[in-house]
A and B are shown apart, each in its own frame.
Chain A
């Protein structure tokens, strides 16, 4: 089955620890995206990548980092510099940059 997988579904971390969220797609899409969703707010773009070995900051990139070494994979690291990391994180991909987007099931991160 083609699609986007995110792991883990739930993640718990202590404050001050870095954590990496996984996103993998087998849709052969060039572009991939990370969003953050908080209650009562719309989705906010963290980072996006149009092609392998290239990525750009979105609206709320501070405290996050990404890599795009393979077309299928776009991991997101939430660093200790992110002031309020507890949120629902969604990964998406599209065939072309800003084309029709397909989303993964999300990872809920809780930092205490």
Chain B
């Protein structure tokens, strides 16, 4: 059974810092991995999707990497802003294309 872990559960950084969020998964035979952000009381917004054949994806200040052999993905946020404050979730689809498994998220606060 695929398990997805996100550490730390919460993170507070001052504005302008570069930061890395971590996502670990137990079954390395994945189909793809997706990063989301969730604002309080809202739905999930897709940030980046990395397919199993890719090593990284970039969108603006965000860069997500994937290392299947070690069971890890990282989300790098450059020059953080208060508007980046949200909960960040990663989700993994196993190689058998069975269901998406979500981590419990990292709650990020960017302070002025």
| A98 and B105 form a contact (CB under 8 A) | no
Interface stretch, picked from B11-19, B41-49, B67-75, B76-84, is B41-49
| A103 and B103 form a contact (CB under 8 A) | no
Q: Give the interface SS of chain B, mostly helix, strand, loop or mixed.
A: strand
| A98 and B31 form a contact (CB under 8 A) | yes
| Residues from 50 to 100 in A contacting B, C-beta threshold 8 Å | 58-59, 88, 90, 92, 97-98, 100
Complex: A40 Cα to B45 Cα, angstroms: 19
| Residues from 23 to 67 in B contacting A, C-beta threshold 8 Å | 31-32, 34, 36, 41-46, 49
Complex: A78 Cα to B102 Cα, angstroms: 22
Q: Pick the contact of B46 from A42, A101, A106, A108 — CB < 8 Å?
A: A101
| B102 and A102 form a contact (CB under 8 A) | no
Complex: A106 Cα to B43 Cα, angstroms: 5
| A98 and B44 form a contact (CB under 8 A) | no
Closest A residue by C-beta to B101: A42
Q: Pick the contact of A42 from B32, B41, B97, B102 — CB < 8 Å?
A: B102
In the assembled complex, how far is the CB of residue B7 from the closest CB belonging to chain A, in whole angstroms?
14
Q: For B100, list chain A residues within 8 Å (CB).
A: 33, 45, 98, 101
Q: For A88, list chain B residues within 8 Å (CB).
A: 41
Closest B residue by C-beta to A33: B100
| A103 and B45 form a contact (CB under 8 A) | yes
| B97 and A98 form a contact (CB under 8 A) | yes
- Report A32-49 CB contacts with B as 1/0, cut-off 8 Å: 010000001111010010
| A105 and B34 form a contact (CB under 8 A) | no
Q: For A100, list chain B residues within 8 Å (CB).
A: 32, 34, 46, 49
Q: Pick the contact of A102 from B46, B91, B98, B105 — CB < 8 Å?
A: B46
Q: For B4, list chain A residues within 8 Å (CB).
A: 42
Give the 6 A-B CB pairs with smallest separation, nearest first: A42-B102, A103-B43, A103-B44, A43-B102, A105-B43, A100-B49
Residues of B within 8 A of A (CB): 4, 31-32, 34, 36, 41-46, 49, 89, 91, 93, 97-105
